[in-house]
Amino acid sequence: MRKRLVCGLFAFVVFVLSIPATYAQFSALYNFGSKTGDPASPSFSGIVAQGRDGSLYSTTPSGGANGAGAVFKITPGGILTVLYSFTGGSDGANPSSGLTLGTDGNLYGTTLGGGTNFDGTVFKITPTGVLTVLHSFNCTDGCTPVAGVIQGTDGSFYRTTFAANGTIFKISSTGVFSTIHSFRSVDGAGPNAMLVDCRSESVTEPLQTAAASQV
């Protein structure tokens, strides 16, 4: 009997759902807040990425050693390791996006706040927990990236920012950053979900405005 493995975050629980053809089994792998320094309040929209080692990787916007969010990994057997605790300073704060596995084996994500200008960051982190800030937003190039990045066929990572009408940007794995589009309300504003790879060398995302509903 074939089974499909579905992984995700809900409330304060990491879960694995094994779905045979006739029924589903739900099991909690870990309850956040079980001990001091735990990750806390995982976002329902956060991406859970499976690494090359088979472990699952993601983020929480709060908790960790400094209360500013954390990156964690958890094995299929439920052993959780905090890889990085954000300080709320130049390294970023409140990562709610989850993580995207890059073709280089590193994991990529965003933070809502923190960074050099406290307007959010794009970061990469190795499976062993070495974090590099690739870009700090300053609101002239976007601010408050809400969700995760997606890797395009060109190897670059694409995402939107939410505040100040919002932008679409791309960034390389080494931090080369460029703004693709800045929204002006008349063409939409406040994009807050992931971009979608349409396999046609373009990316799309729903917007929050009436103008967007007319597109």
Residue 71 and residue 54: Cα distance in Å, rounded? 16
Q: How far is CA 122 from CA 23, 39, 188, in A?
A: 40, 19, 23
Q: Structural domains in the chain?
A: 4-208 (2.130.10.10)
Q: What is the mean pLDDT of residues 187-193?
A: 60
pLDDT, residue 34, reads: 81
Residue 184 and residue 187: Cα distance in Å, rounded? 6
Instruction: Give percent of the chain above pLDDT 70.
Output: 73
pLDDT, residue 147, reads: 72
Q: Return mean pLDDT, the chain.
A: 81
Higher pLDDT, 15 or 42: 42
* Structure confidence at residue 179 as a pLDDT band (50, 70, 90): confident
* Structure confidence at residue 128 as a pLDDT band (50, 70, 90): very high
pTM as predicted: 0.80
Q: Which residues contact 126 (CB under 8 A, 6 or more apart)?
A: 105, 106, 107
* Of residues 6, 13, 111, 115, the one with CA closest to residue 50: 6
Q: Note the pLDDT tens digit of each residue in 80-121.
A: 999 999 999 999 999 988 999 999 999 999 999 999 999 999
- Whether the pLDDT of residue 206 is over 50: the answer is no
pLDDT, residue 215, reads: 32
Q: Note the pLDDT tens digit of each residue in 22-62.
A: 666 778 888 888 888 999 988 877 889 999 999 999 999 99
* Structure confidence at residue 122 as a pLDDT band (50, 70, 90): very high
Q: Which residues contact 92 (CB under 8 A, 6 or more apart)?
A: 69, 86, 111, 113, 114, 115, 120, 121, 123, 133
Q: What is the mean pLDDT of residues 145-155?
A: 86
Other Cβ atoms within 10 Å of 131 Cβ, number:
18
